[in-house]
């Protein structure tokens, strides 16, 4: 009988922080691009609506805050020690969007086909 204890796979915390930072930078950029596209199409009609202007300002602030958090994570990653490691498998399992699980989750993640199709579906409203 093999009584060897298996340890979960770990990775450098700096690598995890880098993946999260990249994802946050992409989200911030997407917010900026979408806000610009929406503004081009709706600004003339919405500029006199205080709620519209507030929503546009909120989107801009959200992008700035997300980019700020990404920068914070970049600096934290630079301060970590190479021997600081973490097992991200449980946290990866909690992610509900397949694309997000692939971009920030445990390296080498393979989702079953039915799970990959179910995650990240777009609901049109």
pLDDT tens figures, 13-37: 999 999 999 999 999 999 999 999 9
Q: Examine residue 88 and state whether it is found in any structural domain, yes or no.
A: yes
Q: What is the pLDDT of residues 33-90, one digit of tens each?
A: 999 999 999 988 988 999 999 999 999 999 999 999 999 999 999 999 999 999 998 8
- Answer whether residue 85 is part of any domain: yes
4 versus 66: the higher-pLDDT residue is 66
Query: Could you tell me the pTM of the whole model?
Result: 0.80
Instruction: With CA atoms as reference, report the closest residue to 77 among 16, 35, 118, 9.
Output: 16
Please give the pLDDT value at position 34. 95
Signed CA dihedral, 95, 97, 100, 101: sign only: positive
Specify if 99 maps to a domain.
yes
pLDDT digits (tens, 9 = 90+) for 109-122: 776 655 545 555 55
Expressed as residue numbers, the domain containing 19 is: 11-104
Return the structure tokens found at 58. 């909120």
Is residue 116 assigned to a domain? no
Residue 107's pLDDT band (cuts 50, 70, 90): confident
Q: Classify residue 72: in a domain, yes or no.
A: yes
Cα–Cα distance between 104 and 58 in angstroms, integer? 26
Domains in the chain, number: 1
pLDDT for residue 5: 64
Domain presence at residue 114:
no
Residue 37 placed within a domain: yes
């Amino acid at each position: 009988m093999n009584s060897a204890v298996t340890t979960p796979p770990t990775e450098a915390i700096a690598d995890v922080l880098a993946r999260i930072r990249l994802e946050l930078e992409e989200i911030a950029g997407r917010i900026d691009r979408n806000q610009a596209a929406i503004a081009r199409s709706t600004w003339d009609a919405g500029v006199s609506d205080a709620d519209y202007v507030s929503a546009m300002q909120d989107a801009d602030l959200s992008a700035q805050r997300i980019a700020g958090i990404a920068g914070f994570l970049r600096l934290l990653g630079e301060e970590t020690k190479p021997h600081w490691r973490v097992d991200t498998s449980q946290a990866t399992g909690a992610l509900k969007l397949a694309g997000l699980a692939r971009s920030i989750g445990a390296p080498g993640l393979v989702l079953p086909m039915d799970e990959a199709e179910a995650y990240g579906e777009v609901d049109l409203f």
